Structure 1
């Protein structure tokens, strides 16, 4: 089995318990993460061969983190050692990365300073069948966007399948470029594009109904998802598969479902609902991992989207950035929603 290669910035997330607890108790949880690493962690746990590529400073803290990833079965042999800093961010547990409370500290990190020519993509793509990255990478600066483009060109020449998560982080797109202009250079290479109807609008220029929430029901959202998927495929001819998520806040809880759009039809997961969420971070990454896992193993389309959505929903009840759910646990959750494999 060929490997899945995930490329992105490794981050350390600091999650202080507010109202002064982190000061009084001298204790703040730290979670290793980053969108693409979260995908790699899930895929390795689900028995796919995974390689992870990032840039880190060559010091003891980096090597501690890499030893942890290696223990999870992730190939870190291609890591680039450069720069002086590991990127960090601050987010209280329970908040979402799109929330205004997120504080990024990623400027001048090792990953943010990578440039074209620093990574030997031709060598790294040996024995790789799938390449995954996210829109967070090109959001950092134009140099990183150019590195993404460099990687995509090599992957395309080698016939490697490419997936992209259209995750939009407004606080990161601060270098004076229109996100759509940057993403238009990257999207044409992608075979699987995942996101939601709003990120597809912001990052890919796909039309969105600004009034969709007025009197909407699930059928309304499913109809819009199908239209968005069709528009993405028409705009980017290499795109074979589109997956979209819907996540609605309900007080302290969430309603969640996903859609999958292929040449042979549109598919929808069960509607998952919970009155309480432990941690919102990493749910979308878990969904992305579920898609890759299902498609890589050639599962039936309805099972692909249902497994991905169940995994994402299950992640909402775990602390930290990456999931530790097993395949059996995800499938057990599906059965609880009367979906039988």
Structure 2
């Protein structure tokens, strides 16, 4: 993917900041009066990783104008994230609850984000010139347009504004079934947004659900890497055909094996499919944020003009390393990630 932007320009991520509360399966948090929590949100997790890796990074969200928000913003600033464009307004912060050790697709996730400050944002209220000043890359996820038609329209306004300024755009096809509750199917909304994107990341089943890129029936039950890689190639080619602005498509394959994980990824660009080494672990710490870390790794690679195989290797190792870090965002440095890259297939 051609990226001519100067490396002094920022990556801007756009989405809702959330607090994640981690309940345990046995209810001990009730007896101990202790409930671990993390600051998160898919787009913030991407911003945290990029800032840690030395990429100039800005983050846009909306937070209530109160002391809690001030403390959170100070925390983000300590991560070297530019918070100057965060909108102040609304009455509450979005929350969600997730049983320890589960991922965001699990039935145990409970959202409490209705009428949040971010969800209340409307079109024609944001100064896009100010927002995109000094920006070369804009990132959002499918979580935002899942909240409401109002938020989907806001995303489209942002994408149009970014496109007019020739800013590279990426999207993570996060599919959250519990969020799509406002009378629209994902594939009625997402194609109108994805058409602006240069880089699309997700997995085969998210592309099916969100973009209408059909997966061959029975693929999910095959268990065969060869079949998954062929489906990744087919899906990527169909996506680029359907959305000609797109120059690169990435897919993740993460399979739970008891308490362990098997993980590998693909990247399709310039009519070639690249695939990573296969990573395995018997025990992991936290599944949340691994996909966000992979997304950040892709942006990091393209931003720094790495070749496709190196982009994929870095992003995959970054995502896998996140599985051993508690919390929503990575703490792994570039050096640590480079040392963790596996090359055997």
* TM-score using structure 2 length: 0.96
1:123 aligns with 2:120: no
Distance in 2 between residues matched to 1:143 and 1:184, nearest whole Å: 16
User: 1:23 & 1:184 partners in 2: Cα distance?
Assistant: 44
Deviation track 1:241-278 (CA, whole Å, cap 9, x = no partner) reads: 10001011111111001100001411011100001111
- Find runs of 4+ consecutive structure 1 residues off by over 3 angstroms: 213-216
Q: Deviations over 1:45-104 (max 9, x none)?
A: 000000000000001111111000001100000111111100000012211000000000
The aligned residue for residue 165 of structure 1 is 172
Is it true that 1:321 corresponds to 2:328 in the alignment?
yes
2:267 matched residue in structure 1: 260
Match of 1:58 among 65, 82, 97: 65
RMSD: 1.0
SS of residue matched to 2:46: helix
Q: Indicate if the aligned counterparts of 1:277 and 1:316 stay in contact, CA closer than 8 A.
A: yes
Q: How many angstroms apart in 2 are the aligned matches of 1:299 and 1:77?
A: 29
Aligned residue pair count: 337
| 1:333 aligned residue | 340
Partner of residue 209, structure 1? 216
Shift of 1:214: 4.1
In the other structure, the counterpart of 1:188 is: 195
Counterpart in 2 of 1:109? 116
Q: Is the 8 A contact 1:93 1:278 kept in 2?
A: no
- Name the SS for the 2:103 alignment partner: coil
Question: What are the ranges of 5 or more consecutive residues in structure 1 without an aligned counterpart?
Answer: none
TM-score (norm 1): 0.97
Give the match for residue 74 of structure 1: 81
1:36 aligns to 2:43 (yes or no): yes
Distance 2:189 2:24 in 1: 37
Are 1:221 and 2:228 matched, yes or no? yes
Tell me how far 1:216 sits from its aligned partner: 4.0
SS at match of 1:266: strand
Which 5+ residue runs of structure 2 have no aligned equivalent? 1-7
Structure 2 contact 276–343 (Cα < 8 Å) conserved:
no
| Whole-angstrom CA distance in 2 between matches of 1:276 and 1:201 | 30
